[in-house]
Structure 1
Amino acid sequence: MSSVKKAPALEHGPANAFEKILMSHPVYEAQLSFWRTVISIFFREIRPRGAFNIPKEGPVIFVGAPHHNQFLDPLLLSINVHKETRRKVNFLTAAKSLTRPEIRYFAQMMGSIPVARAADYAKAGKGRVSLSPEDATLIIGHGTAFTEEFGPRSQIMLPKSVGSCLAEVAEVLSDTELRLKKEFGGESGKTTGRVREKLREVEAEGTTGLDYKTLPYVDQADMYKTVYQELKEGNCLGIFPEGGSHDRTDLLPLKAGVSIMALGAMANDPNCKVRIVPVGLSYFHPHKFRSRAVVEFGTAMDVPPELVDMFKQGGSSKRDAVAKLLDIIYDSLKAVTVRAPDYETLMVCQAARRLYRSPGQNLTLGQVVELNKRFIAGYTHFRDEPRVQALKEKVLKYNRLVHDLGLRDHQVPGARKSSWKTLGLLLYRVGLLSVWSVLALPGVIINGPIFLTASILSRKKAKEALAASVVKVEGRDVIATWKVLISLGLTPVLYVLYAIIATIVAAKAGAPLRWRIWTPILVMTALPMIGFGALKFGEAGMDVLKSLRPLVVALVPGQQRSLDRAKQMRVELSNELIEVINEFAPKMYRDFDRWRILVPQAQVPPSSEAAPASVGTVDGQAELLTHPMTWLDEHLFGWTTSARRGTSAWAGRGSGEASRAPSPGPGHDSDDDHEHGDYEHVLGIVRALAGGERSGNRSRVGSYADLQKMKSNGVNGMSPVEDKGKSTALGGGEDRETHRRQRRPTLTDGVPVVRIGSLERGAGFDECTRQINGEIEEQRNSPKHEKSPQ
């Protein structure tokens, strides 16, 4: 058996006239526009953050993680980079994937560089293996043929039961013995201990040794040569250094290839100054149709020259340089990704984030992602504290109670006592749901075969991917990709079939020749419009359907006590959570109190019998105009009292007053399973009432760039952070300029919100501002105070 493998013969660069056309700039632009349309249909919302960090020129390596959505990940990254800078990104793609004709065609147009992976050529070994009792680097075979299966630098992989551990072969001693370069798991010996324990278990069951796989050594010389040339020419490369897509909650260990690419390119050409941009991809249910995503670009990093010098020296210095740069890249990815050590931690932190957000706070997707990162960082740091453990148990208990009631967390504050108004609102929304369902029905029937086929086949592909992988948990990372690919292949076939059927029906009905000629054209034109209409009407209907749960629960006899208990429990948890954050966050983040945003404490929602507020109030109207369904509910049923309480610093009201804002509508942060409603695309009556409000389209396509500059501004707390509102990519043309929104200065800039909250409620405005201005003046006259941590 040959111990060296070459990548499949797929050259990076045009091999003939046809491939030259495929890889031309106009074709790339057209293909990217096509994929942008596909992505906008599959995802309900995509938010770029920190797009201003993308270098406009020079060689760049975009390092993306986590790789949770197979082929859709590079598309999202490419689209956002091109939208901001008009630059093309050439991605390194697994050579095995490029053997599929449907993938190879698009990959050629996108300029993908094939990468052969040893795992793609793994084969089941003959016989079974065990470790020598005296030497952890000596493999003993039972019925094996090592001389045929292994060669120098090839690898041996053990089964999933021991973590699919790998080790490089140093020497093949015989058909039944081989020497490893290092023991499994390296010098720590932890993996070796797990392997020996497993061997004892199988021996107790009467079996000798473990199954294994052989992995050949793959020569990557041609790939690196191509990469160095691309960087030398000042182009952009994209890579997902985890090595393959997965559906784990934390990052996989990074492969060293990205470090070698950056250091090697600079070592070969002193004039090549490579910059590395970390990119975090955060999804809300990545495998589901019409889910949401955030693409966050971190600060571009220069490769340290001293590491390049170490790389040039070769040997151990080269290995140290690669490892150090890989650590730098890993640290930069941690700043832009949501990472949790396990699923329970992720669920607890997301629940805490929802409890921390006061009712009425509709956070942007960027703020939701930032809060998730901060809560996970804080929880993992203080998880052993008794108070944190006690709070965790209470949060889990609350989640179980809400789940038993059939509600989501965002629905709890707005749940009302059973009354005729509740019944009327339920009937009204059922009627509204019926209207949206009827409008969506034609498109659902027409496109039903596509949805059904894509769902069934994608899950089948997920099972196949899970069986072939050693890192996947459920194989969800391939579902969205296969849904898109299957839909792209099936939709034109189905629409052509419908056009043929319509033409046959027109001919049999005796329609004039002119109409028979126009029938297929009209059908092919109308079907996409019907499908898009069904998408929007069905989406609005689903939002209405999700809003029925609390109304139904409120009408069920005997449930009111459980509802009241859930609301009270939520209030107590929210207040306790804020106290815990106030206690522990300053220990982790310097200047936490100065830069956090004050979050009002929760309060039990006022009863529905409270005096209704005027719809025309200044503070409530903006919220009422945000969601058409809430606006209709307000005018038809008079819902105005809400579940929230404000403070004078937060909304200009005393703590004892009931908020005049509306009940929580569908918002970005309502719940991980509850997505922002697209009512504004269906009900056209609301935007006209909003006056100077920005259009919804701008909010969907603009870049928030909201929190990426936190380090320079000193924002490091675990509280909700202010969206700085820097906009990118407003224009779509070649010569468009990048515009940025600037936040207007306010009276409270640089003033700790805790200080504002400590002011006397009944104190006059002049007195309060005089106190604060005096303190600010003292700070200015004092020696330069310590800056916030970078």
Structure 2
Amino acid sequence: MAHPSLHKRLFYEASVLFWRMVIRVFFREIRPRGAFNIPRHGPIILVAAPHSNQFIDPLLLLLEVHRETHRRLQFLIAAKSMKRKFVGFFSRLMDSIPVARAADDAKPGTGLVSLSANDPCLVLGHGTKFTSEFSAKMQIMLPKSLNSSVAEVAEVISDTELKIKRDFGGESGKTTARIREKLTELQAEGKDGLEFKTLPFVDQQKMYREVYQCLKDGGAIGIFPEGGSHDRTDLLPLKAGVSMMALGAMADHPNLQVKIVPVGLSYFHPHRFRSRAVVEFGSTLDVPAEFVEMYKEGGTKKREAVSKLLDLVYDALKTVTIRAPDYDTLMLIQAVRRLYKTPGQHLTLGQVVELNRRFLEGYVHFKDEPRVQKLRTDILKYNRLVRDLGLRDHQVPRAQKASWKTAGLLTYRIGLLVVWTILALPGTVLNSPMFILASVMSRRKAKEALAASNVKVAGRDVLATWKVLISLGLAPVVYGFYAFLATAVAVRAGVPLKWRLLMPFLTLTALPIMNYASLKFGEAGVDVLKSLRPLIVALIPGQQRSLDKLKTTRLRVANEVAAVINEFGPKLYDDFDEVRILVPSASAPPSTGTPGIWQRRSGTGAVDAQGNLLIHPMTWIDERLFGWSRSATRGTSAWSGLSTPTHDPSHSGTPNETDDEETPDYDNVLGIFPDQEHLGVPRGTTSRSRNNSYADLQRLRMANAEVSSSGTYLPADGEGLHSRGGHRSRKHSLTDSVPVDRIAAISGREPFSDATSDINNEIREKKSDHPHDE
């Protein structure tokens, strides 16, 4: 019989494999950044934020850590969630550590409460039963109207009086003042006080012992310090648990050195099916030894150590998260990013996240400047004009006046849309019961979660979780019904016994394959559908003047965005010119590759296998006939307004780009059938938006003279340098903020691992020599 630890490992690996398949279906793309920051050995705590996707967040983090390091990650999970059959089953398989939360067992109290006029720590009851409902160390919770403020009970004096340890809301006194104002309002309405809830005392010692043991054994702990999921644009106040875990483990085991890794989770529409995500790992944080000594002293020193370490964790999380003060600001920042990007220039998910973060930091810092305020007004006006015409920003530069080619392209795309729709229809129809029920039930669950929370805005943080859980529950039922139906039809048709017996198995095997193919065809159809609107607008009589005005406005606003960034950027970043992600209007480095009739150039100038006729025939035909591809080098008149063919690199984007910088799956739909290696194309020559090869370092070296004349071209997504296909032995990844001239200095004969390792070491030494420059 196998050893129990072997059983656990097998169950863990099986669970990881299962959830990897589920997550791959739900998300179109997941991109890690900074994975080299994860220590391969020793005790670590991965601190992730924002917690905006309930049970999906820990799955993403766990899968990326497993993929990059093959380390097992134990998560802290609410004991309440462990009681759910499906969630609890997999949580136990993955060795999660349950955390009991007092709020999960809150009960309504009898009567009403108010505060003493002389002592804010004395709670007075009206018709209450304090002696039977409370005891020392329990907590009393006030209503949502007062942010569900909680205080620990120090002493129960009588049925109508009890002492709390500290003021509601802490020593600031702001919450106490709000409570008194609320009581005054209630008394004016004839009410004696506030409703309240009782929270039991929860002993967390068992949980801490499990965490300490895991860290002592050199394990990895995952935690979301905000305490619960939410759908806000900024972080919630962090709980002190992560500090107590790190300090407590090191205090109990003097030779232990716990490292903390901040992790930022960025989603593009987190609640939607087939959305995208970026998992960013920040620089490792060492726990200062002086904090451990303060923790050992106990009392005030212990609380001070916990608070200081929590501040360090919060500062570390700020470097990997996008924290907008409100939704409108976030939308403004995304509009700035789109205007700053050169039309047709494709950004990786990592670059999008990094640009959003930098623009947000700059806007918050300079938002009171008159020039910035005027730019904000101009951008909002431009956005309204775009919406009025029914377009998206990326479609504006390519929208042209009506011509025979525009009409031909529209006709061709409508025909293509019909083809994709027909191919996607079977899977859509067969899966429609799951889609409809998952959508309806997840929205119902979101309403319930919103009603039970005082931090959620719309309850969107639970939508994706329930869509996945409901679909997983319905899939066996729906597929089983289809298998039964197929068998019944076979029996009725008089099919031989052998095939009747095989029919259920054949059906259950064919359905997932057909549904996945339909999914990819459906995505291609949606991409084509999105590209129709600007063509239709261009063909409507009288719209040309509005289009010309819109394009002129966009050009003016985009130039102003670049000018404002060039003016204020160096004031915020001393190394602004060295580490900027892209330079507006600067051409990408050219390639030594030569495109032929069978291939096209990629968006960065390299010969791209995505234009290969054998692998992507529809892309090849569409590009050669109409030239709308983002990387076409010939005939882009339909979208770029060129009347004659040109050999210059095209800056026109594909018609199916979205405002989220999505990599269009239209180019990859037919690629799910043949393997590239079988067609003589080396593995790893996929679209440059997904992979960057070491060979491109040589191209950058050759192109250095041209690039330096126009500015620095700096990919922000260093993690894109390694292939994402399946588990493989770990290779070095290139870190961010590497100037092109440093890459150009690399010898073409130097091994990839040595080159990236040397550059990463130089970056780390630079950071250690100038710690405050970060």
Normalised to the residue count of structure 2, the TM-score between the two structures is 0.84
1:507 is aligned to 2:467: no
Could you say which residue in structure 2 is the equivalent of 1:581?
565
Q: Which residue of 1 aligns with 2:731?
A: 738
Structure 2 residue corresponding to 1:636, chosen from 616, 620, 625 = 625
Question: Secondary structure at 1:361's aligned position in 2?
Answer: coil
- Deviation of the 1:137 alpha carbon: 2.7
- How far apart, in 2, do the equivalents of 1:111 and 1:539 lie? 36
Note the C-alpha offset of 1:729: 7.1
Query: What is the match of residue 660 of structure 2?
Result: 672
Q: Deviations over 1:51-87 (max 9, x none)?
A: 1111111111111111111111111111111111111
Aligned to 1:776: none
Deviation at 1:686, TM superposition (A): 13
- The equivalent residue for 1:62 is 46
- Could you say which residue in structure 1 is the equivalent of 2:144? 160
After superposition, the Cα gap between the structure-2 partners of 1:641 and 1:623, relative to the gap in structure 1 and judged at 3 Å, is farther
The structural deviation recorded for 1:459 is 1.1
Q: Secondary structure at the match of 1:281?
A: strand
Q: Which residue of 1 aligns with 2:16?
A: 32
Match of 1:681 among 669, 690, 694: 669
Instruction: Determine if contact 2:266/2:353 at 8 Å carries over to the other structure.
Output: yes
Distance 2:113 2:565 in 1: 52
1:569-597 CA distance string (max 9 Å, x none): 11111111111112212111112123325
2: CA distance, partners of 1:179 / 1:719: 63
- Does 1:563 find its partner at 2:547? yes
- Which residue among 566, 576, 582 is the counterpart of 1:592? 576
SS at match of 1:57: coil
Matched, 1:107 2:95: no
Aligned to 2:268: 284
Change (3 A) 1:559 1:144: farther
Deviations 1:628-667 (A, max 9, x none): 676544422355148889xxxxxxxxxxx99640521268
Q: CA offset at residue 721 of structure 1?
A: 5.0
Residue 188 of structure 1 aligns to a residue in which SS?
A: coil
C-alpha distance 305-665 of structure 1, shift in aligned 2 (>3 A): same
Q: 1:121–1:215: 8 Å Cα contact kept in structure 2?
A: yes
1:696 partnered with 2:696: no
156-165 or 513-522: bigger deviation: 156-165
Equivalent in the alignment of 2:650: 661
1:219 to 203, 227, 232: 203
Report 1:324-723 matches (<5 A). Answer: 324-597=308-581, 599-601=583-585, 631-638=620-627, 639-641=635-637, 660-661=649-650, 663-665=652-654, 670-672=658-660, 676-682=664-670, 694-696=684-686, 722-723=716-717
- What secondary structure does 1:211 align onto? coil
Distance in 2 of aligned mates of 1:335 and 1:358: 26
More moved, 256-265 vs 401-410: 401-410
2:244 to 260, 275, 278: 260
- Residues 589, 223 of structure 1: CA spacing in aligned structure 2 closer, same or farther, 3 A cutoff? same
| AA aligned opposite 2:62 | S
1:90 aligns with one of 59, 62, 74: 74
Cα RMSD (Å): 3.5
Distance 1:145 1:341 in 2: 42
- SS at the partner of 2:335? helix
What is the match of residue 654 of structure 1?
A: none
> What SS is found at the alignment partner of 2:74?
strand
Alignment-derived partner of residue 762 in structure 1: none
Aligned residues: 707
Does structure 1 retain, via aligned residues, the 8 Å contact 2:229–2:461? yes
1:116/1:329 CA distance change after superposition, 3 Å: same
Query: Which ranges in structure 1 are unaligned for 5 or more consecutive residues?
Result: 1-16, 604-613, 646-656, 705-716, 752-784
C-alpha separation between the residues in 1 aligned to 2:586 and 2:553?
11
d(CA) in 1 for partners of 2:663, 2:58? 24
In 2 relative to 1, CA 220–553 (structure 1 residues): closer, same or farther, beyond 3 Å? same
AA partner of residue 517 (structure 1): L
Question: In the alignment, is residue 299 of structure 1 matched against residue 283 of structure 2?
Answer: yes
- 8 Å CA contact retained: 2:619, 2:667: no
* Runs of 5+ unmatched residues, structure 2: 588-596, 628-634, 695-710, 745-768
Distance 1:623 1:562 in 2: 38
Contact kept, 8 Å, 2:82 with 2:91, in 1: the verdict is: yes
**Secondary structure at 2:171's aligned position in 1?**
helix
Q: What amino acid is the match of 2:430?
A: I
Letter in 2 for 1:635: R
Change (3 A) 1:664 1:618: closer
Bigger mean CA deviation after superposition, 393-402 or 31-40: 393-402
The letter for the 2-side match of 1:365 is: L
SS in structure 2 of the partner of residue 393 of structure 1: helix
Report the Cα offset of residue 361 of structure 1.
Answer: 1.6
What secondary structure sits across from 1:172 in the alignment?
strand
- Is the contact made by 1:130 and 1:199 (CA closer than 8 Å) also made in structure 2? yes
Q: What secondary structure does 2:574 align onto? A: coil
Distance 1:435 1:68 in 2: 37
Question: 1:266 Cα deviation (Å)?
Answer: 0.8
Superposed, 1:763-782 pairs within 5 Å as none
Alpha-carbon deviation of 1:479? 1.1
CA 1:51 to 1:602, structure 2 compared with 1: closer, same or farther past 3 Å?
closer
Distance in 1 separating the partners of 2:73 and 2:25: 22
C-alpha distance in 2, partners of 1:196/1:631? 71
* Identity between Structure 1 and Structure 2 (%): 59
Alpha-carbon spacing, 1:314–1:23, altered in 2? closer, same or farther (3 Å): farther
Does the aligned pair in 1 maintain the 2:579–2:737 contact within 8 Å? no
TM (norm. structure 1) is 0.82
Pair 685,495 (structure 1): closer, same or farther in 2 beyond 3 Å? closer
- Relative to 1, partners in 2 of residues 1:718 and 1:262: Cα closer, same or farther, differing over 3 Å? farther
Q: Is contact 2:98–2:207 with CA below 8 Å preserved after alignment?
A: yes
Q: Distance in 2 between the 1:386 and 1:304 partners?
A: 43
Give the deviation of 1:464 after TM superposition: 1.2
- Which sits farther off after the overlay, 357-366 or 688-697? 688-697
> Which secondary structure state, in structure 2, belongs to the residue aligned with residue 164 of structure 1?
coil
Distance 1:523 1:615 in 2: 39
CA contact (8 A) 2:483 2:504 kept: yes
Counterpart code for 2:174: K
**One-letter amino acid of the counterpart of residue 686, structure 2:** G
Deviation at 1:700, TM superposition (A): 5.2
Question: 2:139 touches 2:150 (CA, 8 Å); kept in 1?
Answer: yes
Q: Would you say the 8 A contact 1:298–1:335 is kept in 2?
A: yes
Using the TM superposition, name which of 467-476 and 290-299 deviates more: 467-476
Question: Match for residue 753 of structure 2?
Answer: none
Shift of 1:160: 2.2
Cα distance in 2 for residues equivalent to 1:722 and 1:642 = 31
Q: Which amino acid aligns with 1:282?
A: S
> What is the distance in 1 between the residues matched to 2:519 and 2:32?
23
What are the Cα deviations for residues 366-398 of structure 1, in whole angstroms up to 9, with x where unaligned?
Answer: 010111111111111111222212211211121
- 2:113 match: secondary structure: strand
C-alpha spacing 1:266/1:517, structure 2 compared with 1 (3 Å):
same
Quickly say closer, same or farther: Cα 1:511–1:411, change in 2 above 3 A.
same
Report whether the alignment pairs 1:251 with 2:235.
Answer: yes
The answer to whether the 8 Å contact 1:585/1:718 transfers is: no
Whole-Å separation in 1 of the counterparts to 2:133 and 2:231: 32
Q: Quick one: distance in 1 between partners of 2:35 and 2:719?
A: 12
SS, match of residue 542 in structure 2: coil
- 1:28 Cα offset (Å): 1.3
Deviations 1:714-772 (A, max 9, x none): xxx999754445645767567x2424469999985599xxxxxxxxxxxxxxxxxxxxx
Task: Tell me the secondary structure at the aligned position of residue 217 of structure 1.
Answer: coil
